[in-house]
Amino acid sequence: MLILMGHQATRDQVDNVLRHVREHGFEPIELPGADRLAIGVLGSNPAQIRDAVIALPGVVDAVPVSKPYKQVGREWHPEPTVVRVGEVRIGTGAPFAVAAGPCAVESRDQLLATARAVRSSGAHLLRGGAYKPRTSPYSFRGLGAVALEHLAEARAETGLPVVTEVLTPLDVEQVAEVADVLQVGARNAQNFSLLEAVGDVGKPVLLKRGLSSTVEEWLLSAEYVVSRGNPQVILCERGIRTFETATRNTLDLSAVPLVHSLSHLPVLVDPSHATGQRHLVPAMALAAAAAGADGLLVEVHPRPDEALSDGPQSLTLEQFSELMEGLRHLIGALARA
């Protein structure tokens, strides 16, 4: 950590900071500059005293040097993590993985029809919401336990592992009985009780980026899960909230190579929630693959215009089949490049 003293800081103020740093068990070094004095702080995790130091008279700022996350960081764990979900592997070196299915499980027929279709188009996992977080209490909020039964049946028939969301620590046990991957949604990206609860389960976790999470906060949320002993975390970029309203969110594809440089965890992309518009999904799915994503999460519905949620952003079964065809061409070319 580097402590920056004000241009007019007195010698007494500087001495007070030095004393403070030493009292906390760290070693300060004075760094005179042209404009001002800086004080370097050596030792393990000096950022823990940042709040205390920054409040001292004469101090202008204190800049941490180390990353706040450890276990999810690539610096300390250079080899990539490959998460296994049944026979599917997700991560660097594994085949590009596609999870597809409806936003919400609406009926047995809807789910089975979708599962069969995405399976035959080449999807690797089945996604579908049993419990849906909705901005309004008056919107459709999922079929709950019944939907979990449908998901289990769809898996039994198609062999596709199931990705489904869990909203509260109260439901983790129940959802984990069926889910192969527990999804934590964007609105719960900093629901720390939920992160710990899924960290206590021995199943892979798909962690969506929060609407306003920085990459650093997102990795710290993953650190919550990993720090409970569950290293099987799959990150998922799904668009952030910006001033632009022409798309539902702004898909931050730069986060894909960035996270790959900072962390060893796999990264998926969800072009459906990011754009909110079906006609933009295929282009952004291809772009995600080209940006180096390890896979996709895509909303597919047999009859999107009758969907109870997120219809406008769901691909039809035919559109999904075409997308998978395009992805195969693209990924082949990327492998050769």
In the list 205, 235, 265, 288, the residue contacting a copy of itself (rule: CB under 8 A) is 288
* Window 314-333: residues binding a copy of itself (CB under 8 A): 325-326, 329-330, 332-333
Task: Please choose, out of 85-93, 112-120, 122-130, 248-256, the segment that lies near a copy of itself by the rule CB under 8 A.
Answer: 248-256
Least separation, in Å, of the C-beta of 172 and a copy of itself? 11
CA contacts within 13 A on the Cβ side of 191: 18
Minimum Å gap between C-beta 289 and a copy of itself is: 7
Cβ 181 to a copy of itself shortest distance, Å: 20
Rounded to a whole number of angstroms, the minimum distance from the CB of residue 159 to a copy of itself is 27
Nearer to a copy of itself, 59 or 88 (CB): 59
Query: According to the binding rule CB under 8 A, does residue 241 interact with a copy of itself?
Result: yes
Four-CA torsion 256, 259, 264, 268, nearest 10 degrees: -30
Concatenate the DSSP letters of all residues of 38-84 into one string: EEEEESS-GGGGHHHHHTSTTEEEEE--S-S--TTBSTT--SPP-EE
Q: Which of 11, 87, 202, 336 binds a copy of itself (CB under 8 A)?
A: 336
When binding is defined by CB under 8 A, the residue of 265, 291, 297, 317 that contacts a copy of itself is 291
Question: What is the closest distance, in whole angstroms, from the C-beta atom of residue 162 to a copy of itself in the complex?
Answer: 21
> Using CA atoms, how far apart are residues 204 and 218, in angstroms rounded to an integer?
17
How far is residue 79 CA from its own chain's centroid? 19
Query: Are residues 314 and 300 in contact, defined by beta-carbon separation less than 8 angstroms?
Result: yes
Six-digit token pair at 39? 């004080």
189-224 as b/e, with b when 16 or more CB fall inside 10 Å?
A: bbbeebbbbbbebebbbbbbbbeebebebbbbbbbb
User: Any contact of residue 272 with a copy of itself (CB under 8 A)?
Assistant: no
Binders of a copy of itself among residues 23 to 82 (CB under 8 A) are: 29, 31-36, 38, 40, 42-46, 51-56, 63, 65-66, 68-69, 75-76
Nearer to a copy of itself, 88 or 166 (CB): 166
Contact between 10 and a copy of itself per CB under 8 A:
no
Restricting to residues 142-201, name those near a copy of itself by CB under 8 A.
Answer: 167-170, 187-188, 190-194
Residues 102 to 141: which contact a copy of itself by CB under 8 A? 133-138
The one-letter amino acid at 104: A
- For helices 192-199 and 215-226, give the axis angle rounded to 10 degrees: 40
Contact between 111 and 154 under an 8 Å Cβ cutoff? The reply is yes
CB contact at 8 A, 106 and 141: no
- Which of 113, 152, 217, 319 touches a copy of itself (CB under 8 A)? 217
Residue placing its CB nearer to a copy of itself in the complex, 45 or 120 = 45
Q: Which residues contact 36 (CB under 8 A, 6 or more apart)?
A: 4, 5, 6, 7, 9, 60
